[in-house]
Each structure stands twice: as structure tokens, then as C-alpha cells.
């Protein structure tokens, strides 16, 4: 369950981050109003002359808040994951190693080892 929640929050986090980037790039700076006097067309926008600034800034503020909350949520979810073992063999239980007992050497009598 935790992996699905982490993936969901991460997906929302990335999408909201991209949304914030897009909204910031669409907004005009404070010095952009000067260009409207020379015919840049800012006064004929969809939201009116000042409506787009209020709508975009409020939307950016909401998305920034969601981005902040998902950041906190991701850090909380990542810190509460159980620690995985470092290797596959770390969690394995093995029996203690036993050394084989060497067989006693076969002693032959001197009379048998001399060929006739």
C-alpha cells in the first residue's frame, strides 16, 4: 500500500511542478505593462487587462502550496519505509561451517611396500 501511495504522491508532485513552471513562464513581469501602451495586446487578453494577472497569480499560489505539501508528504513517506537489507545474503541464516575431519592415514608395513 505504501508503494502505491508514494507513486501517486510523486506523480502529483511532478505534474504540479510542471504546472508551476508553465504558469510562471506564461505570466508577465511587472515591467511588461509598459509594452501594453505601445500595442502589445495585453489589454485585449481573455481575462481582461488585470484579470489574467489575478487568475494566474492565484493559480500559481495554489499550485505552489500543493507542491509544498506534496514535498512534505514525499519526505514523510520516504522516511517511514522499512530498511531493506544491504544484500540478499544479509538476511539469510546459515549453519556454522564445519571442517571435515581428515581420514587417518593408512599405514602399511615395511614388508608390504618392498617389491620382490
pLDDT score at 80: 82
- Has this prediction a pTM greater than 0.75? no
Indicate whether 6 belongs to any domain: no
Specify if 71 maps to a domain: yes
Determine the average pLDDT of the residues in 26-39: 66
Is residue 20 very low, low, confident or very high in pLDDT (cuts 50, 70, 90)? very high
Beta strand residue intervals within the chain, DSSP E: none
- Whole-number mean pLDDT of the chain? 77
Q: Is residue 77 part of a domain?
A: yes
Which string of DSSP letters, residue by residue, matches 87-98?
STTTS---PPP-
The reply to whether 23 falls in a domain is: yes
Do the domain assignments include residue 58? yes
Q: Using CA atoms, how far apart are residues 41 and 59, in angstroms rounded to an integer?
A: 22
Task: Using pLDDT thresholds of 50, 70 and 90, give the confidence band for residue 76.
Answer: very high
Domain that holds residue 68: 17-30+46-81
- Residue 75 maps to a domain: yes
Which carries the bigger pLDDT value, residue 69 or residue 108? 69
Amino acid at each position: 500500500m505504501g508503494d502505491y501511495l508514494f507513486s501517486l504522491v510523486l506523480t502529483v508532485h511532478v505534474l504540479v511542478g510542471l504546472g508551476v513552471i508553465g504558469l510562471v513562464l506564461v505570466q508577465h513581469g511587472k515591467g511588461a505593462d509598459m509594452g501594453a501602451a505601445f500595442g502589445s495586446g495585453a489589454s485585449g487578453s481573455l481575462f481582461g487587462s488585470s484579470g489574467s494577472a489575478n487568475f494566474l497569480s492565484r493559480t500559481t499560489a495554489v499550485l505552489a502550496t500543493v507542491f509544498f505539501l506534496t514535498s512534505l508528504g514525499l519526505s514523510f513517506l520516504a522516511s517511514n519505509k522499512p530498511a531493506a537489507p544491504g544484500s540478499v545474503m544479509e538476511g539469510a541464516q546459515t549453519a556454522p561451517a564445519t571442517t571435515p575431519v581428515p581420514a587417518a592415514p593408512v599405514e602399511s608395513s615395511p614388508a608390504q611396500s618392498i617389491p620382490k
